[in-house]
Homo-oligomer: A and B are copies of this chain.
Amino acid sequence: VFAELETPAVLVDVDVLDRNLTGMAERARAAGVRLRPHAKTHKTAQVAGRQRAAGATGLSVAKTGEAEAFADAGFDDLFVAYPVVGADKGRRLLALHDRIRLAVGADSVEGAETLARVFAGAGRTLDVVLKIDVGLHRVGVLPEHAAAVARQIADQPGLRLTGIFTHAGHAYGGQTPDAVAAVARDEGRTMATVAEALRAAGLPIATVSVGSTPTARDSMVVPGVTECRPGNYVFHDRTQVALGTCRLEDCALTVLATVVSVPADSRAVVDAGSKVLSSDPLRPRPDGHGLVLGTRTTVARLSEEHGVLEVAPGDRFRVGERVLILPNHACVVTNLQDRIWTVSGGQVLEPWSLIARGRVQ
């Protein structure tokens, strides 16, 4: 299969990709919310362009460097969905602000101040969106503290508070689709309630933004939500299948690998290890590092250049054979390569450059 490609290689089925893109865009339209997909999943101008063509308002990114990469590629409405901190980052955001529509996340007065000083010093104003913690307990302010922090951020010269955003990443721990949906509804309702409270305190909250692929369907329909920022939905992965977010045939990204060793009947080894699949565990329950498509065999262990298959009863692999592996987490796979190869109907089309790979600063 795909004999013209050397392995390991990352493939994206563009037919599945386009179906995923269109489906989410239609869902957002039906819900009456703006779609601002997170570009960290695909890291490519080509997918971002298809998202825009399907109706996306703009893109979300995680880091200043990702914003620079997509601004360079012609995307002019970007939200850095991260509590950016530091004058060095502030200066780069100021340069970006010269050429695109830009908003940046914040979750503390101290952090926002480091950007405010740079923008106020230049006589400019940066749009800031406050991060709310709806239960992931990673970053973000708790709903009960939102009004106080929002007021102090809004009062800083150089900043304009325009909205609130969240990421209900704890949905990835949901053991059933119903549990995931409950997290999603709570995400939407909490955000709508916080927005109302801030408005009652005199803060002009325009954007109420929710995120995540597993919760998108149920959180974007909650009244009061204005924007949705899913990322993974363009490719999906083994974790989304395990969560019940999608079916196996909705997964667009796979890893093409070669069996390099079959040391025992129960063990085969492929040339894709953690440097291709990443060592991210399956969510919501750990179960190896990938599924060999068309088989019941999983990648049971990884080292950097070895994927060790625990061969399921009835499956058999031979040295030199090529296999397609569905990875646990697509977003990290695209951070490990310089390009992905598009395919359609079993044919290789073209490479797409991962322009935002490694842009962690």
Contact = CB atoms under 8 A, between A and B. Distances in A.
Interface string A35-50: 0000010000000000
Interface in A79-99: 82-86, 88-89
A274 interface: yes
A72 interface: no
Interface residues of A, number: 64
Interface in A330-346: 331-332, 335-338
B85 A260 contact: yes
B138 A258 contact: no
B261 A108 contact: yes
Interface in A1-54: 6-9, 40
A250 interface: no
Q: Is the interface of A mostly helix, strand, loop or mixed?
A: loop
Contacts of A337: 358, 360
A308 interface: yes
Contacts of A82: 260, 305
Interface in A118-145: 133, 137-142
Given A305-B63, A320-B111, A335-B304, A279 B276 contact: no
A62 interface: yes
A57 interface: no
Contact of A319 (B108, B169, B279): B108
A194 to B, nearest CB: 15
Contact of A360 (B8, B267, B318): B8
Contacts of A258: 85-86
A358 B339 CA distance: 11
Given A304-B332, A358-B275, A139 B263 contact: yes
Contacts of A139: 260-261, 263, 269, 306
Contact of A137 (B6, B267, B276): B267
Nearest to A88: B6
A114 interface: yes
Contact of A6 (B261, B280, B361): B361
Given A6-B361, A138-B306, A303-B169, A84 B267 contact: no
A272 B303 CA distance: 22
A111 B319 contact: yes
Contact of A260 (B83, B320, B360): B83
A303 B308 CA distance: 24
A85 B320 contact: yes
B319 A85 contact: yes
17 contacts: A7-B86, A8-B361, A40-B304, A62-B304, A82-B260, A82-B305, A83-B260, A83-B261, A85-B258, A85-B260, A107-B263, A110-B319, A137-B264, A139-B263, A140-B263, A142-B263, A279-B281
Given A6-B89, A111-B320, A273-B360, 7 more contacts: A7-B361, A8-B361, A111-B261, A137-B267, A138-B263, A276-B360, A336-B360
